[in-house]
Each structure stands twice: as C-alpha cells, then as structure tokens.
Structure 1
Amino acid sequence: MALASAWGSWVLLGAISPAASLADTPRAATLPWMSPDIIARQDGASEADQREAVARQRAQLLLKAMSLPQKMQQLTGSAPEILPELPQCFGGRHISGIAALGIPTFRVTNGPVGLGQNDCVDAQLVAKAGSAAKAAGLAYTHPSSAKATALPSAMGIAASFDPDVASAYGEIIANEMHSLGLHVFEAPGVNLARLPILGRNFEYFGEDPYLSGVMAVAETKAVQSKGLIAMLKHFVANEQETNRMSIQETVDQQTLREIYLLPFEMGVKDGGAAAVMCAYNYVNGKSSCENEDILTGVLRREWGFTGYVQSDFFAMKSTAATLKAGLDNEMPTPLFWSVDKLGSALSKGEITAADINTALERRYTQMFKAGIFERPLVQTPMAVEENGRKARDIGTRAAVLLQNGGALPFRRDVQSVMVIGKGSQVYAQQAVAGGSLPGEPMGSGGGSSDVVPHYTVTPVEGLRNVLKSLGNSGAAVKLALVDDANMSATIDGARVSFADVTAQAGAADAVIIMAGTISEEGADRATFAGASGRQLAGSAAAGDNLDWYAPRSNVIALTNGRNAARNSQTVAMIKALLAAPSRTGVSMNRKTVLVLKDNAGVAMDPHLVGPRGPAILESWFPGQEDGNIVAELLFGIKNPSGKLPVTFPYVGKGFLDNVSAEQFPGLYDEATKKQTVRYAERLNIGYRWYDANVSGNCKLVKGRNPCVAFPFGHGLSYTSFAMSNMTVAYDPTAKLYRAKAVVANTGKMAGAEVVQAYLALPRSADAAGAPQPPKRLVGFERVELQPGERKEVEIIIDPAASNHPLSVWRETEQKWVVPEGQFALWLGKSSSPIDLMLAGRFSYRK
C-alpha cells in the first residue's frame, strides 16, 4: 500500500471522529437486532442461506436506527488510534464501533501468509510520538505489531496439492485471529503467477486457476467456519506490482473468464466467501473499484455473491462511481468517502441514501452472520508452540523434491555438514519469509505479508535440532557465507578464501547449498531504466534466476543507486562447489543438495539439472520454522510429497524471455499518461504456454519439453510409485465423469503421490475465440501409501462445477458453452506428456 502520500491527503481532508460527532445520538433503549429471540433464530437456522436471511433482517433493523452521520462514519476505516476496547493496541485497520448501537469495532488483518499488519502495534508509540496523528504512519507497518505465526508461503500451500493442508492453514489463521481479537482476514489471494517475477507470487497459489480455486475454497471455508470473514483478493487481473496503482490491464473477456476470474468464481460459489477486495489496477479501461461490470454484473448478478466488497488500501479513485459500481467499504481511512465528499455527492444526486444503506447492509449482514456483534472484543493467549508445530508440518508437506541423484535423504550418522550460501542473501543465514532482509528480523520488510513471529529457526539451528533428535549430537554443522565475487568468505564467522570453502565442502559428509529468489509487495523482480517503472533496463527475465537480487525487494530496482540490482554469482558458486574434488569417497553431486527458497518458479541453469547436478529441494518461503522444516526433509524424518504449482523453465527459454514490452511492464502513452499492459498470450499462462509452443522453441523431444527444466505438477519422493488401470467413465445418474487409476507404492518408505487429471478439449473449442492450449488441469487427488500398498484413486469431473472443466467462454454469446467433439482425459504425475497416460476419450453428454 502507498501510505505516505495517501496518509498526508487524509490529514488534509480531515476525518469524522465517532467520539465527537456521534456523541449526541441517544442511546437506544432497546436494540432489536440484538434481541435474544432474533439471535436464537439465526443460530437455529440449519442452512447457511437461512442464517444469512436472518442476519440480513438484523442489518436492516440496525440501519433503521442509524443517523446519516453514523452511516457515513461506518462506510470507511478510521484514523489510527488507540483502540478503546484494547488499550494496548494502536491500530489503523479497523472501523470504530458505536457502543450505543451495539456496533463493535470491526478489525481487519492483512494476509495471506499469517496475521501481518493486524491492527495492533505498540500503543506506547503514540506517547513517544506525542500524538496519534504523528504516530499514524507507524500503525500499518511498525514491527511492534502483535506477534503471530509466520506460516509457509501460500505458494507452498498450493504445492501440497492437498485441500486438507489449505484447511489446516486456514484453521491456524482463524484461531490466531480469535486470540488477537480480529474479524476479517484479507486473504486468500488468488491472483495468478502470470509473471514468474511478480513480487507477490508467494502470496498466491501458482499459475493454474483450478488449483488456485481449490486451495482458496478450502482456506476460506476453514477461516469462516470459525465465525470470521475471509476476503478474496485482488479482484481482478492484478498480476503486476510495477505501477500497480495506475496500471491499465487489457484482458479479453474469454481469457478473463477462463483464467483470471475462475478462482474468484470458485471461491464465491464453493467457498462462500463473505468478502472480496477490489484491486489497485484498471481492468479494460475502468478502475477495479469502480468497475460495475465486474463488481455488480459478474460478481453479484452472475455468481450470486451476497457479501461485501472492500477496497484495497488507498485503491479508490472516486466517490460516487465506486459506490454506484458496487463497492461497500473504503479502507483504511475516509479519503473519497469522507463526510464532505459523500455529502456533496448526495446533494448533487450522484448517490442516494439507499446506496449507502445497501453498502452497509451487505457488510453488516456478514458481520451478523459470523456472530461478530455477539462476541466481546478481547485478546487471549495464543497457542504458540502448537501452531509452530502445525506450521512445521505444513512446510514439510509443501516442499518439492525436484531431483535426486542419490544424495537424499542424508545418512543420519553424518559427522560433518557444510551449509553454504551467500553473505548478501538470507537463505543460509535466517528463516525466510517474503521480504526477508539479511541481518534484520522477520517482519521488518514492509509488505502486507510481513508477519512478526514469536520465534524463528535458522537453517543451522534446524539441522542441529534434527540431528540431536536422531541421537547424533556430535555432528559438526558449519556455516559458510560467500561474497558476491566468489573470492572470499566466512566459515562460522572466521574470514577465509572461497578456495577454503570448496576444500572444506569436499571433506564434508553432506553439503547443503541454499539459494532462492526473495520478493515482496511493492516491486517485481526486474531491473528498470528509471524510477517510473516504464522501461526495463534489459530483459524482462532479469530477475527470473538465482543470481539477481536487490537490497530491498519491496522497492523498484534500478541500474544504479541505493537499490541497484546486483549479481550474487550464486550459480557460478554452485558450479564451483560441484566441481571441487570430494575427499569422502562420494562424488560431490551425490552428497550435495541445493535447497531453494523461492517466491515462485525460477529459471534453471542446465548445468544444475540432470545427473551432473545436485539433489534439489524447493522449500518456497518456509516462514518461522524454516530450519526445522528443511532439516526434517533432508534427513528423511519427513518424505517430500509436494508438486510444483508453477513451471521451472531453463534459463533463456521461458515465458519472460519471449514477452513484449506490451505484456510487461506495459507501454506508456505520453498523450494519455497511461501505461497499458495487454495479456497478449491470452489463455497461454504457465504450463499452457510451454505446451502450446508459443515461442516456437518448445517442440517436444521424446515426450519432454526442451524449454522446461521441471514441469508443473512435478515432484519426487524418497519412495517410488506406479500408476495403472487408468479409466474414465460417464455416470448417467450423477451426470458426471469418474476418472480412476490404481496407485502403488513400489519403494521401501511410506509416502504420498498426487494423481493429476488433464483434459484436452475438442478442436471445435477454438471457434469460441482464442485457441485452446493443449490441456487444462481439471482434477487431482493426493494418496498416502505404505510400502507395497495399492489404492484406487477416483477423480470426479463435473461438467456443472464452478470451474467449468469442459466449457469455454464464447464471447459472442457471453456464456459458457461445451464444445462439440471428443475430449481426451490424461492421468499422471505431472503436466509433462511423458508423465501422462490416456485414460480415455469421450463426447459430452447432457
């Protein structure tokens, strides 16, 4: 969020103070919306829509008792203040309550990877600053924020390919929200990894809309089952941080429907999301927060959404147009919905009192439905240790074993372990989350996902913890940090040469190299020619590798200056270590693992992939339990089972190596002063782009794509699996298709495999508009197996499901249609053709 300038504007405009302007309201003698009878009627309703109907009645009763000034105050967030109910909290993410009407202070926390910026920084900041006004900017980003569990990244949750993991994730979040007295979780985020260098990819679920939707549904249900509100964001086509406040996104309707709206549709229809957040960007010429076609036409009329829409912080760009379009709540403070601007719009007839009532009714309905009016606003002790254990378990289920030439799992009786990373990077030194900075505590980056944890576990601490638990307390674990030039280093703090590092690595029993791609809200991983972000300094793929970094990941990187992009020479370091002579009788690549901690997918140097390369474990951003998560996986206490939710291309052969300036960062028009991005690739996002061979360089060779190092859906295990008996059949009673496969664990260790279902549409589908990619993910099922165990797995493909598995959006008719002809269903363990088997072909039956 752009706080500094927006906060200054708010101060100039002035604010309405609930204490000052609402004090003359007579306290209601009775509050019919809080009567025991109506609460009992709501609680006794057996169906969600029945509970919502009663909640709406309560909202209408409340609105009848409110004055216009009260309604105006309730439309927006409040100025940063010490919360009356929680005097230890100085907060800037809430709507102040009205005690006389029984309206509680309504508190919002950011997300999606834990409770970051949770409306509670140290109240002593006000005393130190001299006033709340002077301390105001600190309310949003100060690291004294109430502590919470720093969870693994949302990208990692998607990598589990397991809705149960997303549910467990949501349950931790919900429990901690109750501990901190919070009501709204600004998540899940379901924007897609269109750009591998998107700064907020780690907050999202990857490149596939169906996978994203499944995870969002599970997380939303888990949060809301606890009497809280989940908020799908950022609605919609918000796939770029560069110039996000003003960028004009142009997306054709078919692409918008089949790709970018799809996870939101699933979250609304299947997850029952109570709230949606409109975004900063413009979509097809209209600001997201005043886009009536999307907020009212699609969201409410087509999908039946009955919740409320909140603005992203400072995302609004108008007063009347936003309210008329379907926005319900301005955050964080009254800028465009200040009393004077609303009053002016009312007097001019641009808005009506009914518009204000509608916006409030939508939000109050969800608050009543969730039981927020009945709950006292208190804070209670948090289950710190328990939630830490759960975060660790989630992290181990999220990690993906990309390749393994035999190095993993490490022997548990190792005597010497060498951890190696860059001194300028966090990966080998600290627990990693989005925006992590070397030498600074977690939560100090400045982005929406900056969670301030109760504790963190570094890589070396985690390795020592796990080795001790295995009865191997005598193993020596050393940390080597190498400079960017690969000339000098430190080993456990002592200055040495890089040659000393390679020599000691050659003598070690196990070598663990840590690298990755840190990113955060506010910037994409690319180098720009100027601070305007209008022109790249070089290739758009500049940040799509293990060498690129900038000192601060939430600020645009330039060719020079304080935040100049730099080259860590990480890949050269890895190659040098692999080339070093081993003195343990085991070749370097068979005792070395490269642990990646990534924002999303990353382009791989071909020398690191294949039998000459090290074992590679992708752990994403593990959060506070980083060290324990990675160590448990490396030593086989946990068996990796994750699958890639994004494609890993080879360096120079990826999507970003082939995009035009129009696709990223956009073309700037001097006449209109607008920068426009066009999603010219249309339906070809992620694995679909590689499958479709858009570049002309990705033609299959013996079933493998030469542009892809590790395909979407890929992930290995310490055991082995075999799939057989693939079939698909139509169930005329249920009017759906049942795909089946038998999975066997053919190895010696318990583990889990994910059966993935991909559908190839008939050629007639292309007549709808954009050519269809070769296949789309339509289902998956994770199965756990003991050694020698076999299970039949069934995947349901319902033509009427919210993800429209068989359908395409026909723009000429403005509707979903099922194309005529034969569909082909493929089952297997990744999106790569070599990993898939044809389960069957069928024609659609109505």
Structure 2
Amino acid sequence: MMTKADRPARIRIVLAAGALALSPGLASSSYAEDAGSPKHTLSWMSARIVAEQAAAVDDAAKEAVANRRAKQLIAAMTLPQKMQQLTGSKAEILPELPQCYGARHVSGIASLAIPTFRITNGPVGVGQNDCVARSVYEAVKDNPNPYASYVAYTHPTSAKATALPSAMAVAASFDPAVATTFGEVIATEMNNLALHVFEAPGVNLARLPILGRNFEYFGEDPYLTGTMAVAETKVVQDHGIIAMVKHYVANEQETNRQTIQESVDQQTLRELYLLPFEMALKDGKAGAVMCAYNYVNGASSCESEHLLTDVLREDWGFTGYVQSDFFAMKSTASTLTTGMDHEMPTPLHWAPDKLQPALDKGEITVGDIDTALERRFTQMFKAGVFDRPLVQTPIDFAAGGRKAREVGTEGAVLLQNNGVLPFSPDVRSVVLIGKATQVYAQQAVAGGSMTGKPMGAGGGSSDVVPEYTVTPIQGLRQTLRERGNGQASVKLVLVDDTNTSATVDGTQTTFAAALDEAAGADAVVVMAGTVSEEGADRATFDGLGGQKLAASAAAGTSLDWYAEKPNIMATNRPNDNPAMDSRTVAMIEAVMATTSKTGMAMARKTALVLKDNAGVAMTPSLVGTDGPAILEVWFPGQEDGNIVADVVFGRTNPSGKLPVTFPYAGKGFLDHITPEQFPGVAATGSGDQTVEYSEKLNIGYRWYDANVSGECAPVKGVNPCVAFPFGHGLSYTTFKLGKARLSFDKASKTYSASVKVTNTGKRPGAEVIQVYISLPESASEVGARQPPKRLVGFDKVRLESGRSATVEISIDPAASNHPFSVWSETAQNWITPAGSHTIWVGRSSSPRDLAKAGSVSF
C-alpha cells in the first residue's frame, strides 16, 4: 500500500463534459475512458483466470483468485477511474439496460470490462431495484430542481418482484429452511432483473417493539436473528449475489436516525447487537456490510475505527467491503481511513472535488482508495459479476407467489385457539370485520401499506411492487370455492373509528347492524394490527425534533394507535401525521360481547387475525378462554388473503413461534423506559439526541425474565406481565415431550440436548424444540448482570399423527454465537464463566414450558 510519504504530486483531474459523475441523466461509462486509460491487456478477464476461479475448491480459494483479479484491475486504473468507482452514480439511463432509469448503481467502465454494478434494497423482496420506467427520466431530465431525479428511487414504475412476507414472519417459522426459501426467491428474481447486491439481511434487534423497521428484521433474540441471517445469506450468495448485512450497528430506532447518538457498553454490543453480524459474517460468509446512520459511542457508524477495523476486520477476519447506508456518511477522509469502502448513492463526501484536496493534504493516500476498491472488486469477482452479461429475463411470478404463500403459512403463529380453529370448510356464512380507516381487512398488507393505496406505494426502501395481490376477502372466498363450498356467503364489514357506523359489502349501515351480521354468521374473522415503515417509529412527539413523546412509548404497541402515513416522520412534521385512535380493541370486545344466533358462543366461532410489525400489547379481555382464537401472520405481503385462508380453514397447520414477546397492556418494557432510553435526551453542546441502552442485556424476553420492573415475578411458571411469551406458538394437533437429556461428544467437543417428541393429536403437524442456557452466577461478576437465560438452539420437527421422533440439538462451545460465554471488557475477549451452566429444553421461553436437561460445569 502506498504511504502518505510516497504519494504523488497533485494530479489534475479533467472530467469529460458528459461524465455522469457530475451530470445527472447522462451515461457515464465513458467517464474513465475520457480521462485517459493506459494500454493494457485485461488479464483479470482472461479465460485462464476465469476458469481458475470457477474451479476453486472452497470459498477461501475462490476468494484468493478473485482478489488477484481485483489487484490486476486496480493496477490498470487511472486515479480518476478509481475515484469514479468509489461511489454510486447519479440517476441515469443504464447503458446496458436502456429501458431502465436507475439510481442504485455504480456506472461501468467499458474499457476495463467493469460492468454497471447494480444494487437493490429488499429485506422483504426485491424492492428499490435500479429500474424505473424510462418515461420517468424523460419527465424530469430538464427539471432544474436538483432533487427531481430522486424520483428514480421511489417511483411506482419500479421493476416488479414478488412481495414476500416480512422478515419477522420468516423468523417466526423458527426454521432456517424457510429463510432459505425466502432468500432463494429474492436471489432468483435479482438474477432475472440483472442485479448484483442485496442490501439485506437486516439483523438489527427489536429492542423497541415500536421500531418502524422491525418487520425487516428477525425479532428480539440475537441467536435466532443470526441463524436466519446465515441461512438467507448462504442461499443468496450461492446464486451469485452479494449479501449485505445491515445496519451496522445499534440502529434500533428511526427517530432522529441521522443524528442519534447511541451509547452502548461494549459487553452489551458484543453479546446482543453485534452477535448476529458476527454469525452472518463468520458462518454465512456475507460479502458486504452496510454501516448505519447513527453514531455509536461518539463515532459515526460509517467512520468508527473500533467497529469497522478493530471488530469487523481484526477480530472477525472480515474480508468483504463496507457500504454506507444512503447518505449516511458524515466526512471524507475519516470514513476512508477507518474502514469504509463504498459511498452510496451518489458522489457526495467522496466526490473528486473532495477526494483530491484530501489527497493533497495527506489526509488520505491513493493506497487507501486502492484498499477500498480491492475489497469491493474482490467480492464482485467472487460473485461472478464481471463474468456474466447484464441481461434481464422474465420473472416467474407464479412460482414466486407459491413460495411466498409457503413462507407466510410457515411463519403464522397460533397464539390461542379455544377450539375455534380451523374453521370447517363447510361453513354457510363468514363475516370478515375490520376498520374502514385501516388496511388489515381490506388489502394485502406489507410495510407502509396505506388504505386505498397499492402495495409498494408506502415509500420506504423495502417497498416491493408486486405483479398481483390477494386481498383477505379474495383469499377466503377462493379457498372455500376450492374446498367445494362456493355457495358460502362471505361478507366484508368495515367499521368507522367511533364504532357507530359501518358498511356491509359496501352498503352503509350501523355498527349495531354489523354486529348482528356477526351474530348470525357461522364464522367471524376480525383483522387488526400495527403497520409501520422506514423513516418513523410508531410514536408521536410534542413539537419538532422528536425530543419529547406526546404519549407513552407503549401507545405504539396498541391495536388502537395508528398513523395515516406510516412513512412520514412525525418528528419533522407532527401536524401532517398525528396519532389516531381506531378504537379497534373496543370493536373486538363488542363483537365478543354480542349474543350469537347460531347456537355457538362468539368465543367459539371468532378468530382475531393480527398483521403486525412486531409484538403488540394485549388487552387482558382478549386473552384466555373468553377471548377469540388469535392468529398472528405479521405482514403477509402479496399472498395475504391466501395465507390467512390456508391457516384458518386448516389447509395448513400452523407451526410458527413468536420471535418477539407479547406483553399485557401496561406491563411491557415500553411502559417502563426512560427518555434516556427512547427517544433520547439532548446532549450537552451539540443538542443532538443521545440514547442510553441502560437496560444493557435485558431486552425482549430477557427483560421480562429478569423482572426488571418488579412486576414480572413468575407465578406457577407463568410471567404475569406476558400474554404470549417469546417462542410460543400452538398447533391444530398436540405434542408430548419426553424427558430432556444432555450428552457430550468427546470427539467434536460439543454438547447435545435431546428430547423425544410425540404427535398425540389427530393431524400431522410440526413442533419447535428450543434450548436455553442459564449461566452461573459468576457470569454476572464479569460485567453486566446476566438475564436468567439465553436461546442457544432450536429445531423444528414434523410428525404424522401418532408418530414420534427424538430431536437432538447440538451446542458447540466454540460456535460463533458463544453459547457458554460472556464478553469481558477487562480481557477484551469472550470468556467462559466458572460454574454450572444449566441447559433447558422446551417449547417456549416460559418457565412452564421448559424442563432441565442437565448442566455443564467449566
């Protein structure tokens, strides 16, 4: 690498008049060529070296060849070409795909065989994908407004793809095979669309149940999150796509996300928030990481030497590249020298007119630029980006839809049943009830869904534009027809927010008349939930700046709270997007209190279907034997109606488990947090909001287990603060667990927790066996007090009626999730605390559902 002392004298950079690096809307592939490319042979593209990479026997060997190719390419590049390749390009018509007006790519350099490098968002499907209609370009090309071209990021003419269920639904499957199917759909369609980088998986944790982007993530537990991320990453990269794990790190709120100062102690970072990143990089071999908007312990996430160099590269041995979240970079020199490699979406801090002065002053070197490019080019060569043409092919939307439907049913969680579900396919009448102001009963639901707006119109970066959607009423009617009951009546009832008026199949009536419809129906399906979107948490604030909550943070977990536009930040424009009260809970209670006319009590014929961003706070009246059956389906995506109908009519047997805790209203973590924990308090001097992760290791089920509030001590194995615990989920069949056992394999030096599982019901089904570890008391002497237990393993077993199987779950002390260890700030390393580590096996995190398998002493 060139040192600062060796740097050349100032180089004058001459830009071609048509260079996209400076001129939006024009092709930029000529930019580096016009700057004067040296004569060379494209050794990095020779048949010999391409064949050598293809023949590499393992990942390390393949990367070694890719790295040689990257170095050969960089050696042939001029400095202007290198600068151009450091950043994304302004919006333009893509030279290789002239039908696409794109704004998520790095323009290629034809003389060097560098293709246009195309990037897509999409934690829940191929979202903003570098291709909106060419007509959009024609409409904005002469607009003097410098922001006019931004329409290329969000325009609804974006290339269509399968709108999958949310990542939270994938996590709820507790099955890495489902994450594999999920990733396979995305990777296949990315190749159809000639895309190269998948800005996902998202592995931030549901520290705050009201985080606007929880639906893009895998829940509140780092091990579950990491496991799903590994499975998704592997399959995506097996398809020649670069997976980009995000948002690195402690990016657990949207409020003031560009300036928020997060204060997190190193132990909490390592054991919780960094852990899924570590798993995805070590086990999944993800090729890229996205740094986040926020500051962590005083440093911007995109220029933290501790995070980007000390942890990522030196501790974990990461050899991929780091890309900025869009517009997340805060400086020029520090980002480059501390470990950032690629600025997106356009040349701002790394524009030539900023890089050159930094070179002149010795703040950066050409070697720093070379290092950043080498890391990214290595991953591009490794993924085959240079070796395949930029050609688009048709997407098989029917195949994507089938897999989306499969993923959605696997992630559905039956929270309580009371004998209601599955409904008989022979019902004569069904009433579907929801709120007129909300999407749940009316449309297919994804992040940012708004009543009366098509899917993909929310405006968040994960929005997907689908080929089709299936509404709830369509799904229910179609399923009944397919089951030979096309004559059944299925009516849609929509109720206003005051619970006084309603419509029945579009005809205006009273709420009392709507309740009468429910009373006379054989089956009643009520739909409710909590929609959210990137850019805003489910909270409102007094005044501007997101500094003071207008109501308890817990309000955002209520089924009653909603905002008309979930993607508009109430922190910036509070009067544009006030909190609303749908009175959904009162509506459900009124339905349940109605006297049934069918001879079956309302509690025995009513199902509440929830569609949620994350966990919700449950009103006690809805939980228990007098409440409805409750089915959680998260954000189902385009196959919404089919997914719900498949489960409620028994075509599929639910087997999902909760990846987040559902507390009772008034008893949750958000009912007890301080302003320092959310939304933050103004820092002295700068005035920027500072958030303190003062709960330390106690997030999600760990907070409830640790009884931090003093109200959550278990009673007969049941936590009184928790309506439905992490890991909970029922089935239409029943399972019996035998005695849990623990064994040790000397050869592999791993432990195995095992239990015999028997399907004692009348239907085939699946159960998820979960393994938790309670660390010895000495673990809390290392640093923060440890929660009562942590998840360290799980496995889903599928059984026919009457059949049994023994489930064995391995626990490797040397695994990337450090199951027996804690992070010592003193030792700056993982250590295994002395004493007895207790192993628990069961079907949820509730003490009632766990049995001791044994203990391990170190």
TM class by smaller structure: over 0.9
Contact 1:528/1:556 (8 A) holds in 2 = no
Q: Give the equivalent residue in structure 1 for 2:663.
A: 649
Secondary structure at 2:34's aligned position in 1? coil
Q: Which amino acid aligns with 1:801?
A: A
Q: Which amino acid aligns with 1:478?
A: K
In the aligned structure 1, how far is the partner of 2:707 from the partner of 2:460? 36
Secondary structure at 1:263's aligned position in 2? helix
Q: Give the equivalent residue in structure 1 for 2:75.
A: 64
Q: Which amino acid aligns with 2:652?
A: K
Equivalent of residue 574 in structure 1, options 575, 588, 591: 588
Deviates more, 1:784-793 or 1:547-556: 547-556
Q: Which amino acid aligns with 2:465?
A: V
In the aligned structure 2, how far is the partner of 1:133 from the partner of 1:476? 56
Secondary structure at 1:119's aligned position in 2? coil
Contact 1:126/1:132 (8 A) holds in 2 = no
- The equivalences for 1:199-218 within 5 A come to 199-218=212-231
| Displacement after TM superposition at 1:11 (Å) | 11
| Displacement after TM superposition at 1:127 (Å) | 1.4
Alignment partner of 1:161 is 2:174 = yes
In the aligned structure 1, how far is the partner of 2:248 from the partner of 2:139? 38
Secondary structure at 1:380's aligned position in 2? coil
Write out per-residue CA displacement over residues 435-473 of structure 1, whole angstroms, 9 at most, x where no aligned residue: 000000000000011100000000000001100110000
Percent identity of equivalent pairs = 66
Alignment partner of 1:764 is 2:778 = yes
Q: Give the equivalent residue in structure 1 for 2:150.
A: 137
Alignment partner of 1:376 is 2:381 = no
Write out per-residue CA displacement over residues 101-144 of structure 1, whole angstroms, 9 at most, x where no aligned residue: 00000000001000110000011112123438764111101111
Q: Which amino acid aligns with 1:636?
A: G
Contact 1:28/1:101 (8 A) holds in 2 = no
Q: Which amino acid aligns with 1:697?
A: E
Write out per-residue CA displacement over residues 478-501 of structure 1, whole angstroms, 9 at most, x where no aligned residue: 000000000001111100000001
Q: Which amino acid aligns with 2:656?
A: G
Write out per-residue CA displacement over residues 254-292 of structure 1, whole angstroms, 9 at most, x where no aligned residue: 000000000000000000000000000000000000001
Q: Which amino acid aligns with 1:62?
A: L
Write out per-residue CA displacement over residues 22-67 of structure 1, whole angstroms, 9 at most, x where no aligned residue: 3253475521000000111111110110110010000000001000
Equivalent of residue 137 in structure 2, options 126, 131, 154: 126
Q: Give the equivalent residue in structure 1 for 2:118.
A: 107
Write out per-residue CA displacement over residues 379-438 of structure 1, whole angstroms, 9 at most, x where no aligned residue: 101111011001001100000000000110001100110000000000000000000000
Q: Give the equivalent residue in structure 2 for 1:811.
A: 825
In the aligned structure 2, how far is the partner of 1:110 from the partner of 1:356? 25
In the aligned structure 2, how far is the partner of 1:743 from the partner of 1:390? 28
In the aligned structure 2, how far is the partner of 1:486 from the partner of 1:765? 53
Q: Which amino acid aligns with 1:153?
A: S
Q: Give the equivalent residue in structure 1 for 2:91.
A: 80
Q: Give the equivalent residue in structure 2 for 1:19.
A: 30
Write out per-residue CA displacement over residues 298-352 of structure 1, whole angstroms, 9 at most, x where no aligned residue: 0001101000000000000000000001000000000000001000100000000
Contact 2:536/2:569 (8 A) holds in 1 = yes
Q: Give the equivalent residue in structure 1 for 2:293.
A: 280
Q: Give the equivalent residue in structure 1 for 2:691.
A: 677
Secondary structure at 1:640's aligned position in 2? coil
Secondary structure at 1:561's aligned position in 2? helix
| Structure 2 stretches lacking a partner, 5+ long | 1-18
In the aligned structure 1, how far is the partner of 2:645 from the partner of 2:686? 54
Equivalent of residue 64 in structure 2, options 53, 59, 74: 53
Equivalent of residue 350 in structure 1, options 359, 363, 374: 363
Deviates more, 1:835-844 or 1:710-719: 835-844
| Displacement after TM superposition at 1:729 (Å) | 1.4
Alignment partner of 1:779 is 2:779 = no
| Displacement after TM superposition at 1:239 (Å) | 0.2
| Displacement after TM superposition at 1:686 (Å) | 0.2
Alignment partner of 1:836 is 2:850 = yes
Write out per-residue CA displacement over residues 500-548 of structure 1, whole angstroms, 9 at most, x where no aligned residue: 0100100000000000000000000012112311110121111111000
Q: How many residues align?
A: 835
| Displacement after TM superposition at 1:21 (Å) | 5.5
Q: Which amino acid aligns with 1:485?
A: T
- The equivalences for 1:685-700 within 5 A come to 685-700=699-714
Equivalent of residue 175 in structure 1, options 171, 188, 191: 188
Q: Give the equivalent residue in structure 1 for 2:11.
A: none
Deviates more, 1:175-184 or 1:532-541: 532-541
Q: Give the equivalent residue in structure 1 for 2:729.
A: 715
Q: Give the equivalent residue in structure 2 for 1:546.
A: 559
In the aligned structure 2, how far is the partner of 1:28 from the partner of 1:759? 62
Q: Which amino acid aligns with 1:507?
A: G
Contact 2:37/2:77 (8 A) holds in 1 = no
In the aligned structure 2, how far is the partner of 1:398 from the partner of 1:326? 37
Q: Which amino acid aligns with 1:534?
A: Q
In the aligned structure 1, how far is the partner of 2:810 from the partner of 2:144? 56
Equivalent of residue 521 in structure 1, options 497, 515, 534: 534
Equivalent of residue 608 in structure 1, options 622, 625, 640: 622
Q: Give the equivalent residue in structure 2 for 1:6.
A: none
| Displacement after TM superposition at 1:674 (Å) | 1.7
In the aligned structure 2, how far is the partner of 1:767 from the partner of 1:132? 63
Q: Give the equivalent residue in structure 2 for 1:341.
A: 354
- TM-score, structure 1 length as denominator? 0.97
Deviates more, 1:560-569 or 1:197-206: 560-569
Q: Give the equivalent residue in structure 1 for 2:100.
A: 89
Q: Give the equivalent residue in structure 2 for 1:744.
A: 758
Q: Give the equivalent residue in structure 2 for 1:3.
A: none
Query: CA 1:26/1:342 → structure 2, altered by over 3 Å: closer, same or farther?
Result: closer
In the aligned structure 1, how far is the partner of 2:391 from the partner of 2:634? 34
Query: CA 1:41/1:262 → structure 2, altered by over 3 Å: closer, same or farther?
Result: same
Query: CA 1:42/1:560 → structure 2, altered by over 3 Å: closer, same or farther?
Result: closer
Contact 2:257/2:293 (8 A) holds in 1 = yes
Secondary structure at 1:108's aligned position in 2? strand
In the aligned structure 1, how far is the partner of 2:179 from the partner of 2:79? 42
Q: Give the equivalent residue in structure 1 for 2:45.
A: 34
Contact 2:140/2:149 (8 A) holds in 1 = no
Q: Which amino acid aligns with 2:126?
A: L
Q: Which amino acid aligns with 2:167?
A: A
In the aligned structure 1, how far is the partner of 2:141 from the partner of 2:498? 47
Contact 1:457/1:624 (8 A) holds in 2 = yes
In the aligned structure 1, how far is the partner of 2:763 from the partner of 2:425? 16
Secondary structure at 2:223's aligned position in 1? helix
Secondary structure at 2:739's aligned position in 1? strand
Contact 1:191/1:234 (8 A) holds in 2 = yes
Contact 2:208/2:670 (8 A) holds in 1 = yes
Secondary structure at 2:246's aligned position in 1? strand
Q: Which amino acid aligns with 2:481?
A: K
In the aligned structure 1, how far is the partner of 2:62 from the partner of 2:610? 46
Write out per-residue CA displacement over residues 807-833 of structure 1, whole angstroms, 9 at most, x where no aligned residue: 000111101000000011010000000
